[in-house]
Structure 1
Amino acid sequence: MHSPPRARRAAHAATVCALATALAWPASLLHAGERVTAVQVAEAASALRADPLLGGTRNEPTWRLRRGGSDPGANDAASTLGWVAKLAGWLAEGGRALAWIIGAALAAMLLVTARRWMQVRGAAAGEQALGIPSHVRDLDIRPDSLPADIGAAARRHWQAGERRAALSLLYRGALSRLVHRHGVAIGAAATEGECVQAARATVAGDTAAYVARLVAAWQFAVYGGHEPGDAAVLAICDEFEARLG
């Protein structure tokens, strides 16, 4: 007849207690023949671990702080943060360099613009100081308002049937050349006759005679309603650069 499990557990517990008492008892109180050896202790411990009533052994996982090791995830995060920091530094340096380049370009553009503006303003101020008009009556005599080859342009107008435009261009061109290239003093309100008189007082005789001929052709067409012949006008066109260039 077998003893109940509770009784067996009690018996084993008593055995364990006895073994613990024997191990804890001072060795000096035991006789030489009764000394417990390490082998006996190990065998008793193995028997206890093998007993199913005592539960055997268990392995329980526990968490413990590792020292001296490295976390791969932390290393990856640190590497990513370092790369981002380097990229931000490169972008900052590039932005500063780009800002310097743009600033230098803007400064150069402003300098060139200011220089050109000063030149134009200075030229205009010089002309005003010398009494050089930009217009004589309602005719624009500024050089930049006229073609480079005035005689050739007037010839094209005349041959295209644009008689008034051809004569107007010749007269405006003559006044502009007299004022800006030959230094003839012509006022803004000067009449055709006054312009011819100013030319005769300043330029050579053949040039003054050419100017008188050109002005007469203009006056006949504008005031008299009589257009000069083709030969006369084309001759004036062909001589323009030679006389007033």
Structure 2
Amino acid sequence: MTAAREETARRFSWRWAAACLVLAGLSSWASPATTAPAEPPSRQQVQSAAERVRADPNLPGSKTEKTLRFKDQDKKPEDKKKDRDGLGWLKDLVTRISEGARLLVWALGALALAWLVVGIRRWVKVRAGGGRHRMAPLPSHIGSLDIRPESLPDDVGAEVASLWQRGQRRPALSLLYRGALSRLVHLHAVPIRNASTEGECVALSEGRLAPMSLEFFARLVAAWQLAAYGGRLPPTAGVLALCAEFDARLGAPAGPAKAAP
């Protein structure tokens, strides 16, 4: 812009100087040799002189210059902002989506935290419940059978054999099964409960008894089930064998301390 203005001023100076020269020449040409005052040139004379100046090849002519400008340079900042905001709806959409995604992430984080808290509470409750379960009182009866140690004889096997030989077969088998359950609960800590069935008692004993003791208890349960549910009595030899192995397979109860002789 500065260079264009300087060029225009220079050309205007040339034209002004040329016009002055023309006017001076006309004045000297029109004025007589006498001392009479000079008359001003007419309008036609001025126009003719100006045409001769414009036709002079030695004087710079007029040129038309065009300046190329970028469209954005002529615009005001407000117009440029409007052009940039032509896709404002897209920017708003992206902004809303990002805000929604951020809210969704926070919501998922809150849900995960709540789920973690609930899981920890359940785990603590289960652990506490397991501790209470382990410390719960031992059952005194399995079904209708009394398994308290004080309700049983010290030598279960000998008492069962005596009852069997006296012909009291079902009471003998009942005492044998009661004594076995009492040993499992109080000596081997088998988690038998009041409503546990014969099959459940055998399954709960797995891992608590040695293999030979587990096999012995399974035979004892089979003899009891045969009489209780099958209406048949097991062979005498089998019952007496169970009586003889009872303490060896299931352990003898801790009796009261005896005074030294």
Q: TM-score, normalising length from structure 1?
A: 0.47
* Bigger share in helix: 1
Bigger radius of gyration, 1 or 2?
2
Q: TM-score, normalising length from structure 2?
A: 0.44
